[in-house]
Amino acid sequence: MRILHTSDWHLGRQLHRVPLLAEQRAFLEHLLDTVRRERVEAVAVAGDVFDRAIPPLDAIDLFNWVLGELADLQVPLVMISGNHDSPRRLGVNSRLIERAGIHLRTSVEDCGRPAVLHDEHGPVAFYGLPYLEPGLVHTHLGVEKPSHHAVLSAAMDKVRTDLAARPANTRSVVLAHAFVTGADTSDSERDITAGGVPSVSASVFAGVDYVALGHLHRCQQISERIRYSGSPLAYSFSEADYPKATWLIDLDANSALTARKILCPVPRRLRQLAGTLNDLLTQPEHADYEDCWLHITLTDTDRPHMAMERLRARFPHALKLSFSHQRDTDTQSYRSRVKGRSDHEITLGFLDHVTGVPAAVPEQNLLQEGLESVRTAAAQREAS
């Protein structure tokens, strides 16, 4: 079976307040062209379909359009909800539209209920593990302590139990939305830390033929059978140098796997540029950047007057402006201190700064419990 693996569409997202709906539609048109050209037999979307729980209407219209196009092509779609999606909203009418070949898996109850598709070699069972917020689902899965590793392990136990009861020639694909150990992150993913550990081991997914992952925005391979497709567009300047792609996966009759990367269209390049204001406005070697989305860092000792307005006269798509010589060194120092740290680590650092005494283990645990309580309450609001 030939499968097109994609994820993290984030329909409705903006890049530094610039709407990206036209660029997202261009990607979806590319996806449909790929389905036709490569004779794709199933499309797997591994979560974060929308950028927020209540998406704008034009993003919903775009979503409905691509579903209709795939249904007209009679190409089945298997899709899960991610941590940006509202599972209940995305899953509305899922039982009804399954008759059109659109298989939505947005509930923990569906983890062991595959969409079974067929090709000339027999059945392929697609299991959808939506983003599982540990604080909300651990009780349902019979897990005592809420953590990503525990709830995903329990969900995969349901997958393996169901798969074991199916005919021996059944091939298997799992869609999951998670942070797997060893993968590379970007600045545009939302932190999903729970229980102090945001990632899970790849060994959790043992026993299936292919794992189509979502959540991280870089297209990458964890192992031969476990891959991230990444987002179809760059959603932060940290992704500027990483090509965007989908995976074309072939599973033969004996579950042997071949994979090919299909590059996504680049509607406008993202670039980072540094120099003095006069250099950037006058030097001809910067002409290649004039049509790019830009993060510009000015190296002038003093901040030039109306710098962004003057830069946009030459670089109309400049989106972000930084200064290498910060006036507020305390702010820059704070940013450097918290960069790459979890919420728990930041709160512990704040407590140490205020009291002058590092938090004891019981205090560390209380802070972690408080953060998990806030996270769970926020997840409940988005899911409702």
Distance CA 80, CA 85 (A): 9
Mark whether 249 and 277 lie in a shared domain.
no
Q: What is the predicted pLDDT for the residue at 16?
A: 94
Quick one: 236 and 296 in the same domain?
no
If asked whether residues 313 and 377 sit together in one domain, one would say no
- pLDDT value of residue 150: 93
Domain that residue 315 falls in: 270-325
What's the pLDDT score for residue 184? Answer: 79
Same domain, 49 and 191: yes
The residue from 247, 263, 279 where one domain ends is 263
Collapse the DSSP code of 65 into the 3-class scheme (helix H, G, I; strand E, B; otherwise coil) and give the result. Answer: helix
Distance (Å) of CA 169 to CA 103, 122, 254, 259, 316: 22, 7, 8, 21, 57
Helix ranges (DSSP H) in the chain:
21-37, 57-73, 87-90, 94-97, 134-137, 148-164, 277-282, 307-314, 329-338, 343-355, 361-383
Q: What is the CA radius of gyration of the chain?
A: 23
**DSSP of 219-239, one letter per residue?**
-EEEETTEEE---SS--SGGG
Among 325, 345, 364, the domain-final residue is 325
Report pLDDT for 365: 75
> CA-CA distance, 235 to 179, in Å (whole number)?
18
- Terminal Cα distance for the chain, rounded: 36
Domain end marker among 248, 263, 278: 263
Q: In terms of domains, do 258 and 286 share one?
A: no
Quote the pLDDT of residue 119.
96
My answer on whether 59 and 208 are in the same domain is yes
pLDDT at 83: 94
Do 96 and 115 lie in one domain? The reply is yes
**Residues 186, 220: one domain?**
yes
Q: 179-180 and 199-200 as β-strands: parallel, antiparallel, unpaired?
A: parallel
| CATH number of the domain where residue 70 is located | 3.60.21.10
Q: 252 and 118 share a domain?
A: yes
Same-domain status, 91 and 172:
yes
> Are residue 138 and residue 280 in the same domain, yes or no?
no
Walk along the chain (384 residues) and give the pLDDT tens digit of each residue: 999 999 999 999 999 999 999 999 999 999 999 999 999 999 999 999 999 999 999 999 999 999 999 999 999 999 999 999 999 999 988 888 999 999 999 999 999 999 999 999 999 999 999 999 998 999 999 998 888 999 999 999 999 999 999 999 999 999 999 999 888 777 777 766 654 557 899 999 999 999 999 999 999 999 999 999 999 999 999 998 899 999 999 999 999 999 999 999 999 999 999 999 999 999 999 999 999 999 999 999 999 999 999 999 999 999 999 999 865 544 555 556 666 677 777 887 777 666 656 777 777 778 777 777 776 666 666 555
As for how many domains the chain has, the answer is 3
Q: What is the pLDDT of residue 340?
A: 63
- Residue 377: the pLDDT is 67
Q: CA-to-CA distance for 213 and 165, rounded, in angstroms?
A: 25
Looking at the fold, whether 183 and 201 belong to one and the same domain comes out as yes
What pLDDT is stored for residue 351 in this prediction? Answer: 72
